[in-house]
Structure 1
């Protein structure tokens, strides 16, 4: 009898378990359906994708208790405990927008706040959430996570560098903070070091000329660092990280409130004083540094929600690299080689919205940069001041037309002890004073729900080069939310700034020679961008493909080859071209795994004509034809997360000396990092991992490190090829594999 009761009870239990349910629901955000959201129950491996209106259906779900996971690009992942005990379950799921994703508000492409998907100009974004997957002590390294953007180290001793976009050198990249040209010219090399990551909301990148809005220097692209809105920032956030190389980086942000005024104080401190020489060339593999950056931003509350902000940043840095036994007693001597750089910098940024019915804004910025440097026994002392004032009117003429009309004035003072500021006869110092007024207009025309056209024009006047015209045209077609086509055409220009031309020579190894008065560079650019999304029941794939082509005239070219002791600068007798294709891929799955990857093919070269009219093609230095990035994230239960990140590059042309035994092109290489993160609570997070897990470092980065002052340069016995000391043969960091540990702590209001 007991056996019969047991069997009967078991059959009843199985019968109950075998009951199935249908789950119908809608995924919404702010009252609107979220198209193609992923809905998944991991324990039974069943899921689906919502339709264009956010509606979804899950069939044949056994009765029971589950965790339902809902995710969509642009929104925070939603997890709910779901009890299924009836034939039909109806759900209404509300997703919150995720500012850490790639469909947030952007401003760089059009100088207006607009959803990234609505922008007629393609804008790429990197956020602090992406920073955390590969923690770095400065933005210079972090930006390398963007496909087609390469932080390039230009010197193996002082480790200074710049940002290359689509293979174009640093002078072609305009650096902005909150839309202001605060990091440019002299500070391009050092300006991204020391911006506290805790102050950064996101970094927006526009590839290709944008001079119609931003003027000179915006020829290759724009990197715009957007700082956090004070009222939305945490009360306190800290990030402390150390590495096995004894690097220490502290990032801190603290919100302040004084009456109706709110401020955000950001502090970054970086300390590295551990000389390492793993390749046994008697030179430091990484520059020793002490850096302090203090950033304070204030937001003033006004009537009618009018904007008024002021931000101030101070940076001090002491860095040196050189022979292992160098110390400050040898600074500037010809006995022990070292490159020692003291940098002081002050920046001011402000934005004010006028108390009018119309949207009228005035922005201003000012920066003061002082640099005291020695490259061996070669001094480099420089001062730069840049003042920028801009006023613009943002006017909606109708539902179809959105107008932007503005005027700007930029004034640059620059003085140093190089040929950049020498008088015409070369006998006296003649600091440069460069005013650059400009006018710009832009109309964003919504032709229909699917078509948008942007037309822009800028006029600048330079006291040397005269009138400069920069038109721009962009078009966007969106058949639906899954397909977006963008195409654009524009021009760019760059007024000569000799510092950006001769900084590569400041190593004590080469003399700068400027053959004639340099003319402004001009470029014509066209690109086409196609974005498509493939949602499925168990996965999501997003593709972003861009083809680009830029044609440069009057390109300023540095000749490293004619004389090993000189860099000779001249306008190119010919033209230069940057062309290629980039592909970005975004994968997400119903399992807690996400993958972002990108690959770029670039062909960047110059065509020069000699005295006989014969043309020759020369590949651009430090511009690999193939490159890519990847970020893979797997989330484990109990708030553990594993990140694998990396950048890879194909062969790139390098600056070699005559009869150089080193190869002219670098090898294929990848720098890969791994990290494990534990979220202990809403406030506390621990992380650690390995950088450069394959331990890749370049070979023979410095020519003749044993003779940095070229005492044996003319010795036919010991130096039959006439080699000279040269640290510019660079294509990757000399830091090999190393471990890191860190802790993050955050307190909300």
Structure 2
């Protein structure tokens, strides 16, 4: 009885001391409805009504932190002490978070607001990539509209990044503005950039050669790493998947003396679980053991002049192949495997000269060493890239001038017959840019670049950009320019190294030239009940001369590389819509329609591995009282033409429409911690569905049981399965009882990852 009395007294005391918090939420002195109000580290909370009023009841005496949160606005926190008063009034005035005003540097080599830039630049923050956590930046870009990570081999799973339908070699990838991810590293180095070290990713679609030179033909991706002063004191992020993948990011920052800060980060990824769900006796996903170590120094100088140094070391051991393969079979012809050892290091520097004028010296160096075998074919390659440029930023009245001198040193050597001696060249460049303020609403940018390549002579790339801002919520941009690309096949085309096709290079490969025009329209629309919509639409047309497009069609046993005797084009439209709703809901959707084709000898054909349409989406819901966030992300791709091996090849000539969808749950109710988990590839979609096989002749990877036409004349032959008669050219494959489709081993029929549905679970810790 005594215990019951104590319990009743405690309840009565709680009720007596339980108080009430009320108030109003506003923005720009107007009521802001549907704002989430909650007491930090508790489950108590409420939402404001249509007039901005809210109330939280039954709060015992104590000291609390009250948070007002609404997507698209900055969080507001207030400290409240509850004593004996019946009602405490706490009002909140929220400020809009203007994501469109992020500072960008990629479009013009100047730090400007995204809204003020005459060049349209897309910006993606770490929060965007956390919606679908991945072990590398390559996979992280799968939910960016118009950008597609493309796998190039079913066995070793190497890949590149397509922008607006153009293949990976047309995309320049920068780290902190420096072009060190190119050539070999475009194929093998993209997977070694830890996501946790990224401040933001900036994407420019369309030629940018007038500022960045070769390779920036289809677009560029600038991966900007964190400055030490902006990074947390310590951070850790690790996750595992149901397939046995494990990824860990660790990092910390420290003050070194009074004038230096350092950021240190490391990424480790391991996948050592061979899986063959499509039953072709080949690994569905390449096994990988990878480590990347990053360090960035920032030095304090007089007048806040910039000086930073960064370095990264990357090592990876990856292999894919027959399930029985081990390193004892490496390079032999008994069990097929593709094994790649990659070792590379990079150095990046940025130094503002100690003079009155704003002049900056930027430099980078990378060294890439690759030891690889594809079955019994070794590929040993070394690549060194040195880059330096001096930039003079000179603002004048109504003119914002930029002058630059640059030089790029390329060294490449491998053991293939195509490289009889090392390819070594230094390309000097000069560029100038003038951004002219025509009026308060209009700006015009003029730019030009001159490069000299001793192999090809002078190369001139101009560009023009116009920005018109009729209202604060509307921006129209018109961009036109040219681009160029100097080709090195064996650092770019994985199909030239693997499979049974012979590589035929016809003539001297001249630089590709492109001419592009892009129209962009951005619109902000404020709706009732605090909703905000952002529309970003673009239309583009690019015309290529001297295009080098691998020809898989002329002969199924060969790949021909030559400058196109004709032209190729890419054209399309895209639309992104970002929406901020009430009650913690935010969504985005994007779609791209495009046509990428070539015309030669009066015949127009679609480019291989290029989808005609694609879409991406994300939907996020934050339930503030429970600190739970749900993210649903996905993409969809239309049919793309695939590289078949001949008339009898039974595989589909076009891929189906396919989609990868993911869901994630994140809980951040524990101080400094985030717990997350979910399902990747909800639909369990893999490319083998609807196909008899994906890898051609996987049972005979060394073509030991393939019969060829060894005569010097075409012969006719009939398939014992289909009954179809074909003409087999000299050196071509003959249909036989054990090879009825006249195929050779080939893993290049690939357009999507083979990895099906899987669970994942992760934990983040951040100490600011």
Q: Secondary structure at the match of 1:557?
A: coil
**Selected match of 2:754 from 734, 737, 740:** 734
Residue number in structure 2 paired with 1:616: 603
Aligned residues: 690
Residue number in structure 1 paired with 2:660: 671
Distance 1:65 1:120 in 2: 51
Distance 1:228 1:293 in 2: 16
5 Å matches for 1:353-432?
Answer: 353-398=352-397, 400-421=398-419, 429-432=420-423
Contact 1:37–1:70 (Cα < 8 Å) also in 2: no
Contact 2:136–2:195 (Cα < 8 Å) also in 1: yes
The 10-residue stretch of structure 1 (675-684 or 284-293) with the greater mean CA deviation from structure 2: 675-684
| 1:141 maps onto 2:139 in alignment | yes
Residue number in structure 2 paired with 1:639: 627
5 Å matches for 1:71-110?
Answer: 71=70, 73=72, 75-78=73-76, 93=93, 95=95, 101-110=99-108
Distance 1:265 1:22 in 2: 44
Residue number in structure 1 paired with 2:482: 491
Contact 2:533–2:579 (Cα < 8 Å) also in 1: yes
Per-residue CA deviation, residues 481-517 of structure 1 (Å, 9 max, x unaligned), is: 2111111000000112222454322214222211110
Contact 1:40–1:70 (Cα < 8 Å) also in 2: no
Aligned CA distance change for structure 1 residues 511 and 226 (closer, same or farther; 3 Å): same
- Give the gaps of 5 or more residues in structure 1: 1-19, 28-35, 48-57, 422-428, 610-614
Contact 2:437–2:443 (Cα < 8 Å) also in 1: yes
Residue number in structure 1 paired with 2:430: 439
Superposed displacement of residue 22, structure 1: 9.0
Residue number in structure 1 paired with 2:697: 704
**Selected match of 1:627 from 590, 607, 614:** 614
Distance 1:63 1:241 in 2: 39
**Selected match of 1:524 from 482, 490, 515:** 515
Distance 1:23 1:367 in 2: 53
| 1:580 maps onto 2:580 in alignment | no
Distance 1:502 1:116 in 2: 35
Superposed displacement of residue 77, structure 1: 3.8
Superposed displacement of residue 721, structure 1: 3.1
Residue number in structure 1 paired with 2:317: 318
Q: Secondary structure at the match of 2:132?
A: coil
Superposed displacement of residue 458, structure 1: 0.5
TM-score by length of 1: 0.89
Superposed displacement of residue 68, structure 1: 8.7
Aligned CA distance change for structure 1 residues 563 and 273 (closer, same or farther; 3 Å): same
Contact 2:629–2:667 (Cα < 8 Å) also in 1: yes
Residue number in structure 2 paired with 1:55: none
Q: Secondary structure at the match of 2:190?
A: coil
Distance 1:71 1:112 in 2: 32
Contact 1:339–1:373 (Cα < 8 Å) also in 2: yes
Per-residue CA deviation, residues 96-122 of structure 1 (Å, 9 max, x unaligned), is: 857xx4541111000111111111111
- Give the gaps of 5 or more residues in structure 2: 1-21, 37-45, 59-65, 708-733
**Selected match of 2:111 from 102, 113, 131:** 113
Contact 2:348–2:363 (Cα < 8 Å) also in 1: yes
Aligned CA distance change for structure 1 residues 106 and 81 (closer, same or farther; 3 Å): same
TM-score by length of 2: 0.86
Contact 1:390–1:408 (Cα < 8 Å) also in 2: yes
Distance 1:62 1:133 in 2: 30
Superposed displacement of residue 45, structure 1: 6.4
Distance 2:684 2:90 in 1: 54
Q: Secondary structure at the match of 2:34?
A: strand
Q: Secondary structure at the match of 1:130?
A: helix
Contact 1:38–1:71 (Cα < 8 Å) also in 2: no
Residue number in structure 1 paired with 2:17: none
The 10-residue stretch of structure 1 (221-230 or 715-724) with the greater mean CA deviation from structure 2: 715-724
Contact 2:47–2:583 (Cα < 8 Å) also in 1: no
Superposed displacement of residue 230, structure 1: 1.0
Contact 2:569–2:597 (Cα < 8 Å) also in 1: yes
Contact 1:242–1:742 (Cα < 8 Å) also in 2: yes
Residue number in structure 1 paired with 2:42: none
Superposed displacement of residue 91, structure 1: 6.5
Aligned CA distance change for structure 1 residues 21 and 383 (closer, same or farther; 3 Å): closer
Aligned CA distance change for structure 1 residues 44 and 311 (closer, same or farther; 3 Å): closer
Q: Secondary structure at the match of 1:559?
A: coil
Distance 1:300 1:625 in 2: 48
Contact 1:38–1:70 (Cα < 8 Å) also in 2: no
Distance 1:37 1:573 in 2: 65
Per-residue CA deviation, residues 593-634 of structure 1 (Å, 9 max, x unaligned), is: 11111000010011111xxxxx11111111111101111101
Per-residue CA deviation, residues 682-704 of structure 1 (Å, 9 max, x unaligned), is: 41110000000100001122111
Residue number in structure 1 paired with 2:681: 692
Residue number in structure 2 paired with 1:301: 300
Q: Secondary structure at the match of 1:198?
A: helix
Superposed displacement of residue 528, structure 1: 0.4
Distance 1:105 1:402 in 2: 17
Residue number in structure 1 paired with 2:228: 230
Residue number in structure 2 paired with 1:246: 244
**Selected match of 1:255 from 253, 256, 262:** 253
Distance 1:62 1:450 in 2: 41
Residue number in structure 2 paired with 1:271: 270
Distance 2:618 2:35 in 1: 25
Contact 1:337–1:376 (Cα < 8 Å) also in 2: yes
Contact 2:35–2:583 (Cα < 8 Å) also in 1: no
Distance 2:251 2:69 in 1: 32
5 Å matches for 1:195-234?
Answer: 195-234=193-232
5 Å matches for 1:548-567?
Answer: 548-567=540-559
Aligned CA distance change for structure 1 residues 69 and 62 (closer, same or farther; 3 Å): closer
Distance 1:246 1:148 in 2: 31
Contact 2:552–2:560 (Cα < 8 Å) also in 1: yes
Residue number in structure 1 paired with 2:454: 463
**Selected match of 2:590 from 598, 604, 621:** 598
Q: Secondary structure at the match of 1:231?
A: helix
5 Å matches for 1:471-550?
Answer: 471-538=462-529, 539-550=531-542
Distance 1:130 1:371 in 2: 33
Contact 2:172–2:179 (Cα < 8 Å) also in 1: yes
Distance 2:357 2:174 in 1: 26
Distance 2:591 2:24 in 1: 42
Aligned CA distance change for structure 1 residues 305 and 325 (closer, same or farther; 3 Å): same
Superposed displacement of residue 256, structure 1: 2.2
Q: Following TM superposition, where does structure 1 have runs of at least 4 consecutive aligned residues deviating by more than 6 angstroms? A: 20-24, 62-68, 79-83, 89-92
Superposed displacement of residue 25, structure 1: 5.7
Aligned CA distance change for structure 1 residues 96 and 308 (closer, same or farther; 3 Å): farther
Distance 1:662 1:263 in 2: 53
Per-residue CA deviation, residues 278-311 of structure 1 (Å, 9 max, x unaligned), is: 0110000000000010011111111111111111
Per-residue CA deviation, residues 161-215 of structure 1 (Å, 9 max, x unaligned), is: 0000000001100010000001001110122111111211011100000001001
| 1:662 maps onto 2:641 in alignment | no
Distance 1:140 1:286 in 2: 15
Q: Secondary structure at the match of 1:189?
A: helix
Q: Secondary structure at the match of 2:313?
A: strand
Contact 2:132–2:664 (Cα < 8 Å) also in 1: yes
